[in-house]
Amino acid sequence: MTMSENQRNLEAGLLLNKNRNDINECRITVVVLFSTFVSVCGSFCFGCAAGYSSVAQAGITKDLGLSVAQYSMFGSIMTFGAMFGAIFSGKVSDLIGRKGTMWFAQIFCIAGWLAIAFAKDTIWLDAGRFSTGFAVGLFSYVIPVYIAEITPKHVRGAFVFANQLMQSCGLSLYYVIGNFVHWRNLALIGLIPCVLQVVTLFFIPESPRLLGKWGLEKECTASLQLLRGEDADVSEEANTIKETMILFNEGPKSRVMDLFQRRYAPSLVIGVGLMLLQQLSGSSGIMFYVGSVFDKGGFPSSIGSMILAVIMIPKAILGLILVEKMGRRPLLLASTSGMCLCSLFLAFSFSFRSYGMLDELTPIFTCIGVVGFISSFAVGMGGLPWIIMSEIFPMNVKVSAGTLVTLANWSFSWIVAFAYNFMIEWNASGTFLIFFSICAGGIVFIYAMVPETKGRTLEDIQASLTDFLQ
């Protein structure tokens, strides 16, 4: 056999291995689909909890005699609980695993719904809402991270976006049934997805990247084999994980202060910046108290909630499709632009109403503005910051970074959710002008800072950002 023939055979072998690896990377197995579904049951719980405060407001304030301040505390204390959940989310998920963290979170979620369902006063209401929020804080970190770590790179964005889709499903369900079901029964219905996740978690694998971080090489390979298929060659992916973990383990152990090193600055600015934009745009306030916004604009809140329920799921599905078609960055820009325009539209609408102008059109303008804002949010800004957060931080700082970013999200969510009712009473037009200004600034921030991560491995994304300033 000649030298040229040997070279051709070698090249053919390398090409065959490359094609085989490409096929493995493109494969979406039943295990990946089922594992994603099980994890996003927690996202559905989050959506139910977020929608509950809007549709239950009239019933709870009437039955228990709550003031505006007391109900604002009840609505916002979920985000306060999520702040505490966020503080522990990274450490807990590394200590007991991604699956263990979801089980742990459901203890608080189930206890919270039961406390709300049987509450006799504001103490039990607030305690239940806080407990549910603590679970949400854990979910908001562990779910996108788990999905990002188990899915192939070419569909990672779409699968992580299922987190936002299921949140929208939970919101839509409660926006619909909340018009007909008593608030106590509504809380009991919230237990169904909790129990479903608790049971199905027994049947999904642990994250292979976490197992690799723990030094469990055999378990890591077995988890990858289960996720990629029995006949798949996972050796290259397993070796990449192993090499990455060796590199990180050789370095110093991660501390929170390590995040403020120059090499992690781009990732930290992007992660925290997107979370602040997501919350300061007013999303939490509008979704938690959407009924009061419709009432303020003279539009029937029950009809408005039904319209939102019909619109939100198709919009979230559209986002799930577009995240891998358009990419993260263009979809973020489009979503934030839509929120910006709708905030400006609502500001003008309420301004005209305050001067007695276009009174007969204000209810319709309010409906268009609210539906447009929440739809734009559901398409991109609702889920994409969590996708990007799960992609941009290396494993050696992911715990500290994820904790800090999630804490920032829920801290500002609590501020917005608590202040929202008071801001609307103060000046509805001015409130939405503030949200418009923040969204406009967000467009500039995304354009200048946020990179495209579609179709890239986690290791490649993290390496490029770490080397960005070097």
Whether residues 196 and 271 fall in one domain: no
- Is residue 63 a contact partner of residue 185, using CB atoms and an 8 Å limit? no
pTM over 0.95: no
Report which of residues 250 and 105 the model is more confident about: 105
In a domain, 221, yes or no: no
In a domain, 323, yes or no: yes
Please tell me the predicted confidence (pLDDT) of residue 319.
Answer: 76
Convert the pLDDT of each residue in 450-464 to its tens digit.
Answer: 888 777 766 677 676
Q: Which residue, chain included where needed, has tokens 């929020």?
A: 133
d(CA 332, CA 338): 10
Please tell me the predicted confidence (pLDDT) of residue 16.
Answer: 42
- Is residue 416 a contact partner of residue 285, using CB atoms and an 8 Å limit? yes
Q: How far is CA 295 from CA 61, 268, 323, 348, in A?
A: 16, 39, 34, 17
Please tell me the predicted confidence (pLDDT) of residue 251.
Answer: 58
Give me the number of domains the chain comprises: 2
Please tell me the predicted confidence (pLDDT) of residue 19.
Answer: 46
Cα angle: 253, vertex 254, 259; to 5 degrees: 150
Q: Please, which pLDDT band fits residue 198 given cuts at 50, 70 and 90?
A: very high
Please provide the average confidence, as pLDDT, over all residues in the chain: 83
Q: Which residue, chain included where needed, has tokens 């996720």?
A: 227
* The pLDDT of residue 308 is above 60: yes
Convert the pLDDT of each residue in 126-171 to its tens digit.
Answer: 999 999 999 999 998 899 889 988 988 778 777 877 887 898 899 8
- Is residue 170 a contact partner of residue 48, using CB atoms and an 8 Å limit? yes
Q: Specify the CATH number for the domain of residue 168.
A: 1.20.1250.20
Please tell me the predicted confidence (pLDDT) of residue 99.
Answer: 95
Whether residues 196 and 313 fall in one domain: no
Please tell me the predicted confidence (pLDDT) of residue 247.
Answer: 67
Structural domain span for residue 37: 30-204
If you average pLDDT over residues 391-419, what whole number do you get? 81
- Is residue 402 a contact partner of residue 245, using CB atoms and an 8 Å limit? no
Convert the pLDDT of each residue in 212-233 to its tens digit.
Answer: 888 888 898 899 889 888 888 8
d(CA 227, CA 241): 15
In a domain, 245, yes or no: no
Please tell me the predicted confidence (pLDDT) of residue 253.
Answer: 58
Whether residues 200 and 272 fall in one domain: no
In a domain, 246, yes or no: no
Where is the domain boundary, 172, 189, 204? 204
Nearest to 145 by CA among 329, 271, 27: 271
Please tell me the predicted confidence (pLDDT) of residue 295.
Answer: 82
Report the percent of the chain where pLDDT is more than 70: 89
In a domain, 17, yes or no: no
If you average pLDDT over residues 349-356, what whole number do you get? 80
Convert the pLDDT of each residue in 109-123 to its tens digit.
Answer: 999 999 999 998 899
Convert the pLDDT of each residue in 372-394 to its tens digit.
Answer: 998 898 888 887 888 888 778 77
